[in-house]
Amino acid sequence: MAHDHSHPPADLTRNQGLVLAALNEAPAPLSAYDILDRLRGDGLRAPLQIYRALDKLVERGLAHRLESLNAFVACADTHCHRKGLIAFAICEGCGKVDEFADAVIEERLGNWAQQTGFKVEQTTMEIRGKCAACLKAA
Ligand SMILES: [Zn+2]
Ligand SMILES: [Zn+2]
């Protein structure tokens, strides 16, 4: 299900707004080319327009890039714009992605970083598997 983000930030450019809306409407992550396909009717033709908009959306925490899929999802939590740990459970059956944060994992990583002297900039976990609905349908 798409999340209802009926109040996107007002200072988005038209392209950023269109890209964010496309991500919000999609049931699964979209690649830049998937987005381009969906927005041709709105006058977007160049991949660069999509990449520019995505860069800004990711920078602002409104969208996330899933490295393992080379695809993008709208942030499931408009208030999450934080630099902490973000985890994604990616279903290989239906393609659905669940975004969540986990304070316990974050704390353990924090302890590890402190002990090893590693400076963490960003942590993104991508967990691959099957969602409950797909398991039930199997
Ligand atoms: Zn998020
Ligand atoms: Zn599934």
Ligand approaching nearest to the C-alpha of 96: 2
In CATH, the architecture of 14-74 is Orthogonal Bundle (1.10)
User: Does 3 have pLDDT greater than 70?
Assistant: no
CA of 92 from ligand 1 middle (Å) equals: 20
Closest ligand to the CA of 138: 2
Nearest ligand (C-alpha, residue 86):
1
The confidence score (pLDDT) of residue 101 equals 83
pLDDT value of position 13:
95
Distance separating alpha carbons of residues 42 and 36, to the nearest angstrom: 10
The pLDDT assigned to 122 comes to 80
User: How many angstroms does the Cα of residue 90 sit away from the middle of ligand 2?
Assistant: 8
- What are the structural domain ranges in the chain? 14-74, 85-137
Summarised one tens digit per residue, pLDDT across range 37-92 is 999 999 999 999 999 999 999 998 899 999 999 999 999 876 665 657 889 999 99
Ligand 1 mean position to 22 CA, how many Å? Answer: 16
pLDDT of residue 83: 59
Architecture of the domain defined by 85-137: 2-Layer Sandwich (3.30)
pLDDT at 1 over 50: no
Q: Which residues are annotated as a binding site for Fe cation?
A: 106
106-125 residue pLDDT tens: 899 999 999 999 998 888 89
Rounded to the nearest angstrom, the distance between the alpha carbon of 97 and the centre of ligand 2 is: 9
What is the CB-side half-sphere exposure of residue 36 using CA atoms within 13 A? Answer: 12
Q: What local confidence, expressed as pLDDT, does residue 81 receive? A: 55
Which pLDDT score, from 0 to 100, does residue 71 have? Answer: 96
Q: Residue 7: its pLDDT value, please?
A: 62
**136 has pLDDT over 50:** yes
**Strand bridging mode 97-100 / 85-91:** antiparallel
Please tell me the predicted confidence (pLDDT) of residue 2. Answer: 46
Supply the pLDDT for residue 128: 95
Tell me the binding residues for Zn(2+): 91, 94, 131, 134
Contact 66, 72 (CB under 8 A): yes
Residues constituting the chain: 138
Rounded CA separation 62/43 (Å): 22
Residue 73 one-letter amino acid: V
